[in-house]
Structure 1
Amino acid sequence: MKKRMVMVLMAAMTVSMLSGCGSKGTGAPAAGEARTEAADAGDKKGDDTKTEAPEAVEKVSIKFGNTQGEEDIQTKSLHEVADRLSKASGGGFTAEVYGSSALGDTDDLTEQAMQGAAILTISDPSRLASFVKDYGMLQMPYLLDDYTQLDKIMETDLYAKWEQEFSDQGIWLVTSNWFSGTRNFCLNKEVKKPEDLSGQRIRTIGNELCTSSVDAMGAVATPMSWSEVYTSIQQKALDGAEVQTPSFYATRLWEVCSYINKTEHFQLIGSAVTGTKFRDSLSDEYRELFTDTFKEVGTEYQTKCADLSEQYEKEMVEKYGVTINDDVDVEAFKAATAPVYDKLGYKEVREQLMAEMK
């Protein structure tokens, strides 16, 4: 009897416990709990409504190649462009800089760009004259008084015509206002007048404009790759080079040439060029950013280049014994090169440019 009573009591307690557990686990939640869950659900729904997918950043990459060393003002300018493009695009527009002919010579890079490669190089009017003859006139000796006139050239109708003529051949002429310095005759002797260059084998750019001008100034024009100049002078295959101070310094030519003769015959203009295929692949926004950045850096670095040239010349005089010869009859060199304008057919286009710039 007692045993039966105990079993009944145990069964009753078990049912009671199960009922209590069922009320807590399966019944309706307390009012506070219900409000919390509803609020959580509402918050989650609200978050989903407010969150928007970030806009995709346009991705573009290009390689900048040139023939100059890392210390040259042109290479430094290319690095500046690359940095500004990256910052302005939030990392979407990336450019890698390859100096010292790492990607090839200037003409090779121009051809690659025309074929559609994402490559830009800094050429010059004398090289690009093979595509648009009259444009080459910008590199003629003693055309400009100084670099401050470069930006003005690009405002002329004549320049706009040249841009279109390049585009028709697959070349995007991004800008022509880069300044790499004033070219002088650098060798191991003093040069005051054209006669002093007689018989001197002088490296110059390998096109008719440059060779004709250097020959007219009395030297023996000797085209060759810039990367070969140092060794050629060292081995006396060359007597010197006509070159701007930043490149003279960066290439350490002061180790093999003791004189910089300030003839200042060429204002070396930098022409940033790539292909129209690359241009046409860009959005309007990126195309404008690309063009504006190159032009802005070009203008800013004109003065920097002039200042850097003075700094380099002072250092080379004090540390390396280079002689800066300012005692040059510049008028005699101007007179010697004047006939080259007629010879190459640039007399009329020169007059047109000067008239439009005024």
Structure 2
Amino acid sequence: MKIKKFASVLLIIVMIIALAACGSDNVETEKEDGASSDQNKQYVLKHCHVLSTSEPFHKGFLNWAKAVEERTNGGLKIEVYPAGQMGVEEDLLEQAKEGVNISHNTDAARLGMYVDELAVLNGPYFVESLDEVAKLKDSPTLQKYIDELEKYGLKVLSYNWVQTHRHFFTNVEVDKPEDLSGLRIRTPGSPIWQESVRALGAEPVAMNFGDMYSGIQQGAIDGAELVYANIPGAKLYEVLKYANETKHILLINFQVCSAKWFNSLPEEYQKILVEECDKAGMETSKEMEENISSIKAELKEAGMIINDDCDIETFKKAGEKAYEVLKLTEVKEKIWEEIGK
């Protein structure tokens, strides 16, 4: 009996040790030196985006990951997942809100689903240069809205990842808003995107990024509004003829992660994550601006026609309707005043 009792106690001790070991694998992995402080644990952030690996943003995310890992001596690692590998954006944002170690490249339009006023950044002609984007840091009104996102479990790491100007890519020439009449143009499903495209003259159609090629082929849509860098990676030059340079939106992207996960990081890691995200974002944005001329040359060679004679002033006037419909005119004017626009 004593032997059986001893064996039972020994078995219980072994099980407790095993469970403790399993539990430690589900939190952060300690670095090889075995130190117990938070600074000596390894944290992992899974960063997701829908773009192809050939786009500059993907390279920029890899540069961000490398810089963070180097500055934290491997304590904080970013794994980059391109082309929607981890699922659709809305689901990923919901996971982040719940505290999952996921971040995503998103835009103000989607964040406007949580804090309405943030959608203003994706309105027609809201900002028109990288200099104006940089000045947004000086807007207390914008910062207030960004801080409000944390109530929904989302932390903004950076909002200076700029994908250059969006234009209308179609199979007919577009010079003025009237030329878009009756055309079904692919755009994300958020209200600011929908109303912006409608205000500029077209019929907006919500469609996932990866479905555009077949959508154009099958006649479900007549074109899309995108940045130049989107076209080669998705091979849309095969199904679209005109690049109409309306420059209607300078596309600001946000890198957003779980606020709960972010707050669990050591303060030094938090600082490094934000600093390197901002740095990589501006470097990537400038690179994308510099790459436009070569992309246009590539598209011309592939048979696309570059229409650089659009009536921008008329499009600007038309675009004001989007702000009015969504009751964002006052917000827009307040932020413009703060950045001196």
- On whether the aligned pair clears a TM of 0.5, the verdict is yes
Unpaired runs of at least 5, structure 2: 1-32
Mapping 1:170-319, distance limit 5 Å = 170-318=153-301
CA distance in 2, matches of 1:219, 1:160: 32
Q: Following TM superposition, by how much is the alpha carbon of 1:197 offset from its aligned partner in structure 2, in angstroms?
A: 1.0
Residues 65-104 of structure 1 aligned to structure 2 (within 5 Å): 65-104=48-87
Taking structure 1 as the reference length, the TM-score comes to: 0.82
Asked if 1:340 corresponds to 2:322, the answer is: yes
- What residue is the counterpart of 1:134 in the other structure? 117
Counterpart amino acid of 1:342?
A: E
Q: CA deviation at 1:338?
A: 1.2
Contact 2:118 2:146 in 1 (8 A): no
1:13-28 alignment, distance < 5 Å: none
The residue type paired with residue 255 of structure 2 is: A
Stretches (4+) displaced over 2 A: 53-58
The residue type paired with residue 251 of structure 1 is A
Q: Report the secondary structure of 2:172's partner residue.
A: coil
Q: Secondary structure at the match of 2:114?
A: coil
What is the rounded CA distance, in whole Å, between the counterparts of 2:222 and 2:182 in structure 1? 9
Q: CA deviation at 1:324?
A: 0.8
TM-score (norm 2): 0.86
- Residue 338 of structure 2 corresponds to residue 353 of structure 1: no
> Could you tell me how far 1:196 is from its partner in structure 2?
1.1
Which residue, 292, 304, 308 being the options, matches 1:322?
304
Q: 1-side partners of 2:234 and 2:228: how far apart?
A: 10
Q: Distance in 2 between matches of 1:246 and 1:150?
A: 19
Structure of higher CA gyration radius = 1
Q: How many residues align?
A: 305
Aligned residue type for 2:116? K
Q: Give 1:120's aligned residue.
A: 103
Please tell me whether the aligned partners of residues 181 and 203 of structure 2 are also in contact (alpha carbons under 8 angstroms): yes
Alignment correspondent of 1:163: 146
C-alpha root-mean-square deviation of aligned residues, in Å?
A: 1.4
Q: CA–CA distance in 2 between the matches of 1:209 and 1:217?
A: 12
The C-alpha deviation readout for 1:177-226, integer Å capped at 9, x for no partner, is: 11012110001111111111111111001011111111111111000111
In structure 1, distance between residues paired with 2:48 and 2:322: 31
* Partner Cα separation in structure 2 for residue 246 and residue 259 of structure 1: 15
CA distance in 2, matches of 1:247, 1:198: 24
CA distance in 2, matches of 1:227, 1:197: 23
Q: Kindly indicate whether the alpha-carbon contact (under 8 Å) linking 1:137 and 1:350 is maintained by their aligned counterparts in 2.
A: yes
**Separation (CA, whole Å) in 2 of partners of 1:325 and 1:174:** 36
Aligned 8 A contact 1:175 1:295 in 2: yes
What's the offset of the Cα at 1:309? 2.2
- The one-character-per-residue Cα deviations of 1:100-156 (angstroms, maximum 9, x if unpaired) are 111112222111111111111011011111111111101110111222211210232
State the percentage of identical aligned residues.
31
Q: Which amino acid aligns with 1:146?
A: S
Q: In 1, Cα distance between the equivalents of 2:324 and 2:111?
A: 19
Q: Distance in 2 between matches of 1:299 and 1:55?
A: 36
Q: Is the 8 A contact 2:48 2:81 kept in 1?
A: yes
